[in-house]
Amino acid sequence: MKRDEIVNHYYGLWHVRHVLGTGDYTYLDLIEFAHSVSDLHALAILVSNYDGQVCNGGHEGYFGNGYADRGGGAFTDHPGTHLHDLMLATLQYHGLTEHPVYHVMSLFSVSPESDCEDCSGTGQFTEVDDDGDYYEEMCYACGGSGVTDHPSLSFNADAADALYYSLRDAWLVYFDASLKWSTVRALPERIS
């Protein structure tokens, strides 16, 4: 059994559950179910989604789409790194920390606050009155503090992206060859 077969099987089960309308089933639910069957099943999904998201939108996209945290989709706040931490811990448990990509993955971190985008972190705006005179106005988005409680990446994502792209092909070969996919537990027939 190969990594792609595992991932496709679980996504197939997830899709059937949605088509049948048997309840709301999140990405986190999918990972937790896969982990209950085999930690390698969950790891296959996590690594595949990390790879796909980083290749599609960089670490910013991986974070923004919720794959590092608990899922939930794009354009919503994802304050943590729950699933990313699970991926790193499972890689470590299986001794897959020697490849440089593990180091790139380990750089991933999130800050609970970020500079306010409305005022560029200054806490104020420069406005012009009717007479053409400039004056300072407090930023209402951040209350003048210059920061918001929206989580943000706290590492150099662009550098991590470039490094991941340069190592990606060798990483996936290493990852797939390092695990004995043929000895992984059988795939479940349905989501319980």
Q: What is the mean pLDDT of residues 115-142?
A: 82
Asked if residue 65 and residue 117 are part of one domain, the reply reads no
DSSP the chain: --HHHHHHHHHHHHHHHHHHT-----HHHHHHHHHHH-HHHHHHHHHHHHHHHHHHHHHHHHHHTTTTTT---TTS-----HHHHHHHHHHHHTT--SSHHHHHHHH--EES-EE-TTTTTSSEEEEE-TTS-EEEEE-TTTTTSSEES--EE-S-HHHHHHHHHHHHHHHHHHHHHHS-GGGSPPPPSS--
Asked if residue 140 and residue 69 are part of one domain, the reply reads no
Answer whether residue 128 is part of any domain.
Answer: yes
Asked if residue 176 and residue 141 are part of one domain, the reply reads no
Q: Return the pLDDT at 72.
A: 61
Comparison of pLDDT for 90 and 21, the residue scoring more: 90
Q: What is the pLDDT of residues 47-99, one digit of tens each?
A: 999 999 999 999 988 988 888 887 666 656 666 788 999 999 999 999 999 99
